[in-house]
Structure 1
Amino acid sequence: MEKIPRRRQAYLYIQQRILSGDLPAGSQISELTLAKEIGMSRMPIREAIRQLEVEGLVRQVPRFGTIVHSLDRAEMAELYEVREALESHTAESVAGRLSAEDTQMLSLLCKRLLQVARELRESDEKTFSPELLQSFLAADMGFHMVILRAGGNRRMMKIVSDLRVLSRIFAAKREPHNLNIVVNVYRFHRRILRALKTANGKMARYWMQEHIRASRRLALESFDRRQALGEAKNAMPLALPQDLLEELNQIEAREANKT
């Protein structure tokens, strides 16, 4: 098995610490501490941090050092606007030409969302448990990634995947998801899938746009509430599903090998 370069090991380690919430937005990153934790010199740590800075996960603050980036409202809105443009274009372009395997996977992911909704409805809880949240994220993000992959544009998929990672990280402090959110996501996905199956590109574009716009509204409304309340205390930590995180990293690795 090919050995993973040290810079890559450091990148994956720091990325996972950020995505898991161990290094929350606004926290300082110490090269020395990370080097000791991973068991390597500071050079690959420094190179990994540079890459994370390019991707928008961390930033350099004069006289303070490296911190995990905290999005402002405008930046969050921009992430969703770019996603809307790219993902709606892809949905229109793949309408009517999905493989049987992709169509089956999209149907399965829709059913998984419906199952999450049922489990939440039948439980005594008003919001997700951490396990149910992971199931929801996996089904939601997986649906979008299948469509992006079907588009065949790996660079576009990498861009949107990065944006999804960023928007998920920085929306992680919003109020916990509830049943209405799950049901609405399911309905949007079902409509998108129907348009894709019937080769209706215009409707696939329309419903993808409406889906991402609805997500954008929720994220910004939550951001505004947090600002008004001085950050909500009932925020839920977020860790991306490991299989999706690995797929995002594989996309990045393929793009790096092409350059």
Structure 2
Amino acid sequence: MEKIPRRRQAYLYIQQRILSGELPAGSQISELALAKEIGMSRMPVREAIRQLEVEGLVRQVPRVGTIVHSLDRAEMAELYEVREALESHTAETVAGRLSDEDLQMLSLLCKRLLQVARELRSSGKKTFSPKLLQSFLAADMGFHMVILRAGGNRRMMKIVADLRVLSRIFATQREPHDLKIVVNVYRFHRRILRQLKSGDGERARYWMQQHIRASRHLALESFDRRQALGDAKNAMPLALPEDLLEELNQIEAGEANNA
């Protein structure tokens, strides 16, 4: 097995800690402490932090140092606009062209969302357990990733990987999800899948736009509500499912090799 370069190891380690919420927004990052944790010198850690800064996950603050970046309302809205542009275009272009394997996977991911909804309903609880939340995220993000990958546009995939559009959005703190949100996501995904199967690109584009706009509305509503409360004590960091995080990293690594 090919050995992963130290800079890459440091990058993946710090990235995962940020996306999991172990390094929350606003927290300070110590090169020395991270180097000791990982068991390497400070140089590869410093290089990894520079890459994360380019991607917007961390930023340099004068007289403070490196801190984990916190999205403001405008940035959050912009990220959803980028998603809408990229994903709605891709949905339109792949309609009627998806392989049987991709269609089966999209159908399976829709069924997983439905299963999550049923489990939440049967639990009698209003919001997800951490385990059920991860199942929801994996099914939701997996659906979008299959469509993006099917588009076959390497430049577009590189943009998604570079900007971390999906990971930045889903790692943002949000209020706990409830049954209504899961059911709405399931319904949007079913509509999108129906149009992809029928080959109606215009309708596939429309429903993808509506889906992402609805998500944007909920995210900004949640942001405004937390701002009004003056804190985020009711929010929960959403870690990106590791298999999907690895897929995003593989896309980036593959595009870097092809550059």
TM over 0.5: yes
- Within a 5 Å distance, the mapping from 1:208-247 to structure 2 comes to 208-247=208-247
Contact 1:158 1:248 in 2 (8 A): no
Instruction: Give the match for residue 258 of structure 1.
Output: 258
Q: Does 1:156 align with 2:153?
A: no
Instruction: Give the match for residue 168 of structure 1.
Output: 170
Q: Does 1:193 align with 2:207?
A: no
Structure 1: gaps spanning 5 or more residues: none
Contact 1:7 1:44 in 2 (8 A): yes
Contact 2:30 2:66 in 1 (8 A): yes
Q: Distance in 1 between matches of 2:140 and 2:101?
A: 18
Contact 2:79 2:165 in 1 (8 A): yes
RMSD: 0.8
Instruction: Give the match for residue 85 of structure 1.
Output: 85
**Displacement of 1:232 after TM fit?**
3.3
Instruction: Give the match for residue 102 of structure 1.
Output: 102
Instruction: Give the match for residue 58 of structure 2.
Output: 58
Count of residues in Structure 1 that have an aligned counterpart in Structure 2: 257
Q: What secondary structure does 1:67 align onto?
A: strand
1:168-218, Cα deviation, whole Å (9 max, x unpaired): 122x2x210000000000000000000000000000000000000000000
Instruction: Give the match for residue 42 of structure 1.
Output: 42
The normalised TM-score by structure 2 is: 0.98
Structure 2: gaps spanning 5 or more residues: none
Q: Distance in 2 between matches of 1:129 and 1:158?
A: 33
Q: What secondary structure does 1:12 align onto?
A: helix
Instruction: Give the match for residue 126 of structure 1.
Output: 126
Q: Does 1:6 align with 2:11?
A: no
Q: Distance in 2 between matches of 1:137 and 1:18?
A: 17
1:29-80, Cα deviation, whole Å (9 max, x unpaired): 0000001111111110010001001111000001110000001000000000
Q: Distance in 2 between matches of 1:219 and 1:235?
A: 12
Q: Distance in 1 between matches of 2:232 and 2:67?
A: 21
- Letter paired with 1:167: I
Contact 1:137 1:240 in 2 (8 A): yes
Contact 2:10 2:45 in 1 (8 A): yes
Instruction: Give the match for residue 204 of structure 1.
Output: 204
Contact 2:87 2:148 in 1 (8 A): yes
Q: Distance in 2 between matches of 1:159 and 1:185?
A: 24
Q: What secondary structure does 2:59 align onto?
A: strand
**Displacement of 1:239 after TM fit?**
1.2
**Displacement of 1:153 after TM fit?**
1.1
Contact 2:170 2:239 in 1 (8 A): no
The normalised TM-score by structure 1 is: 0.98
- Letter paired with 1:166: R
- Structure 1, 226-235 or 67-76: larger mean CA deviation: 226-235
Contact 1:59 1:69 in 2 (8 A): yes
- Identity across the alignment (%): 86
Q: What secondary structure does 1:66 align onto?
A: strand
